[in-house]
Chain A
Amino acid sequence: MRSARISRRRFLGVAKEAAIGGVVAAGLAGAVAGYLGGASSVAPETKTVTETVTRKAEAKPLKVGYVYVGPVGDYGWSYGHDRGRKWADERFGLPIESFYLEKVPEAEVGGAIETLIGKGADLIITTSFGYMDQTAEYAEKYPDKYFVHISGYRSGAAGNAPQNMSAAFAEFYQLYYLNGLAAGAVTESGVVGYVAAFPIPEVVRHINAFVLGANYAYKKRTGKNIKAHVEWIFNWVAPDKARSAAIALIEEKNCDVLAFTEDTPSVLQVAEEYQKKEKKVWSFSHYSDMREYGPKAHLTGQIANWGPIYLDFYRMVSTKSWISVDIWGRIGDYIPYRWRKPVEESTAGQPEGVVYLAPLNQAIPEEWRAEIKRRYEEMKELLFEPFSVEGNLGEPIRDQSGEVRISGSERADHQMLWSMDWLVEYVEEPLPKVKEPLRQAFPLPFLYFPRLGRCSGLGATR
């Protein structure tokens, strides 16, 4: 091959020097940028976090240690708990010292608990499901300390953990039903979407509650059944996946209201982007008030305030009146008077108790806002249950296979809600779960267990 003329750059030694210089320069620039980037992202976390509210200097303060799975700045799960911690500290009224460990991997919770006990904590609150077993283990190891585990099912009250351990959870399914009512009231396409974290009962009942609510309102408006689509992202915190799932639901499935179980405001932000492009897409708040991320698209939402629960435990420990409990905080819990109010005085949309509805968007038609408030007030006294024939316009609730799950005067009880493994008929996608053919693909007999009767009494007993 003869190429007579060619840029000399390809051959001259100069190029080598230039290349080395370039690499060095790029490396330096990268290092500087990395340093600055790192510095700016670290900065917000360096603020002082322990708050010591000392009212009576002579009394020994109550010491409470929290373990968070995420960073407190995540605006989601851990952030919500940290807000609850501050809320409870402020209202406790006695000397209190609380401290926390953030971003604790589930396998390392043992060390975190030991550290907190080393700091003199009387009460340890672990706030991730994955901490459950080890919390129970350390409750056994330290019988004179008190432990609260959030979102699990082991407690002294449930009989599967020592008596110095309690369980607590802020339950949203009622609020998801109200969100569903709002969704059914505003949807134009008659299709709603749900960006879901994991196919576990908690998320499944939230999807069902949301879809039942949406169907209730939509069918009452138009006479037609709602259609619902679910996108599974298999993550609690995954803004990128939530975002692409939301866009897929809007673009491919024609959804115009999106609920979600993911700890960031990503889905709401996507809805807001569409609103700005003059396409009406709606979404919600999740765990904390997220209105600022989607002032137009924010329909309503579910907000938790863990503070009252924590305050309750503070008081139990400080007054030595501890009893192990398994708290399931719903609408109306942890408010002084849970009596139903008339619609015009409803507290729906205001902070109240342990879980409450986010403010209602004025885009929801007036009569539906009233309906939502009415149901909210009714649920304070458990006068209304979403998983009932009444919650489905008088129709029995059927699952996707058409099987009737709730009929007549039945209402879902704790057992059904906490082990829900079916989706209501209006959801298009099946629940991802192990199907028989997949099991048969694994020839090993012990991979699945037909003879459950011989299970040696392990795990939960309730």
Chain B
Amino acid sequence: MEPLVKLRGIVKRFPGVVANDRVDFKLRRGEVHALLGENGAGKTTLMNILYGLYQPNEGEIYVKGRKVRLRSPRDAIDLGIGMVHQNFRLIEPHTVLENIILGLREPGIRIDFERHAERIRLLAEKYGWRIDPWMRVWQLSAGEKQQVELLKILYRGADILILDEPTSVLTPHETRMLFKALRRMAGEGKGVIFITHKLGEVMEISDRVTVMRRGRVVVTKSTKETSPEELAYYMVGRSATLDFGGVEFAPGEVVAEVIDLEALSDKGVPALRKVSLAVRSGEILGIAGVSGNGQVELAEVIVGLRKATGGKVIISGIDATNKSTREIIELGVAYIPPESVRWGIIPEMRVVDNLFLKAYRYPPYSSKLILNWGRMFEKAEELVKEYEIVTPSVHAKARSLSGGNLQRLVLARELSGLIGEGIPKLIVAAYPTKGLDVRATNFVHKTLLRYRRLGAGILFISEDLDEIMMLSDRIAVMFEGRITGLLERGKADKEKLGLLMSETAPS
């Protein structure tokens, strides 16, 4: 049978890197094809080429048997290719309907909105979605927005669907709904390309899987004929074993406590509603939950970046409620911010600058006024070695580092005890592995476990239930600004957590 898409010998070069190196790829009708690889393996670049966003330096693209040139997404859309990006491209103040028909080519000068609305409703129902075309997009949940993106594509009659890490914003329930819909689309003879770096999802949804590493295709296999272990091996080039054995749970005294904490979100609505928690030294307290249920606000209030409107934060026995960030840093609190590449790194400054973003103001790295660059460079070299940060030099700009290396840099800055004596007392880690590849994730996990052993109290926020269950000594679940449950290690399973994470949970 004629493949829907055939890519042959695709080469795409960016300054200093070859993002795609002679890539061959085929998408058949009626299949869900997973495109698996670490961050920076070239998956997204390849799909951007197929979607007309990038032009390849070499290689040929065949769509439905015909050789084509894709100069812009418009060309791709005309050929029936649609893409759902990681961050949605929707106009929030507009309605679902307006978003879907925006850019539609149709003769005539009037738009029959009612007719379109009806057709969109029918289309949505076919895939088991309940979407009101007249809703404003900002009123929708992340999962629903994704459905709108898919509807936008399907409404144009696309039969080649590209989804870039579609599950990263979804709850487990929404993920299941998405998978059901994708199956159905495949059943209609459409081809679905599913970009991911999560092995579990590959096994669950895909018919075939293509693994990419460093811009090249390593293997394309039928999913049935492979295993997660094998795929992990292809992804990282060696067998990645996730071994956390031999960690005793021996918690010490409470290092941080929040009591009836309340705070507002950026939009001024309550984000925390009387949250009470305590972190003890030598323990990892996991915070599970779907993003946007108050986890980040909780972290920010603790580290002094957000004002508490009620309740208390006590760190090492000292009332730290609404103290300045600097005072809290001096109490021994380390903070790994969410999306640390954006919010914890300055790309345009050097590695050394980023390493000393906090410690620059303390001796021995500076006196009252003057910076001691000699000391800083010395220490930076050490840290680069210790944390295996891959960088040309400590003088290099941070933007030249990959995501994984930037996260190592953040860990080095936060955890290596540059400020004060010894290790931090409390580590607040918000989504520290989000978007990282297997090896970098592994490094973060190991590092957190090491500090747990050293006696730090760790508040570990993540959406990835596997990760939470693997690392945490206790797991608190947050939903709508409340702690809906607190489970001991070993007593938590995915089903229980999933219930607590959604409104159906009996709290």
Q: Which residues of A approach B to under 8 Å, CB–CB?
A: 2-9, 11-13
Contact = CB atoms under 8 A, between A and B. Distances in A.
A5 B105 contact: no
A11 B109 contact: no
Does more than half of chain A's interface fall in helix, strand or loop, or is it mixed? loop
B283 interface: no
B209 to A, nearest CB: 35
A8 B113 CA distance: 10
Contact of B113 (A3, A9, A12, A13): A3
Contacts of A2: 113, 134
Interface string B53-74: 0000000000000000000001
A12 to B, nearest CB: 7
A11 B134 contact: no
A5 B113 CA distance: 6
Given A12-B103, A13-B103, A5 B98 contact: no
Contacts of A12: 102-106
7 closest pairs, A vs B, by CB? A13-B103, A8-B111, A4-B113, A11-B102, A4-B114, A8-B109, A5-B110
Interface in B34-57: none
Contacts of B112: 4-5
A4 B110 CA distance: 10
Nearest to B134: A2
Contacts, number: 36
27 contacts: A2-B113, A3-B113, A4-B112, A4-B113, A4-B114, A5-B110, A5-B112, A5-B113, A6-B111, A6-B113, A7-B109, A7-B110, A8-B106, A8-B108, A8-B109, A9-B109, A11-B98, A11-B102, A11-B103, A11-B104, A11-B111, A12-B102, A12-B104, A13-B74, A13-B102, A13-B103, A13-B104
Contacts of B102: 11-13
A331 to B, nearest CB: 71
B169 interface: no
A8 B134 CA distance: 17
B105 A11 contact: no
Nearest to B74: A13
A142 B208 CA distance: 91
A11 B102 CA distance: 5
B346 interface: no
Contacts of B103: 11-13
Nearest to A5: B110
Given A5-B113, A7-B110, A8-B106, 10 more contacts: A2-B113, A4-B113, A4-B114, A5-B111, A5-B112, A7-B109, A8-B111, A11-B101, A12-B104, A13-B105
B294 to A, nearest CB: 31
B388 to A, nearest CB: 47
Nearest to A9: B109
Interface string B75-118: 00000000000000000000000100111111011111110000
Nearest to A4: B113
Nearest to A2: B134
Contacts of B134: 2
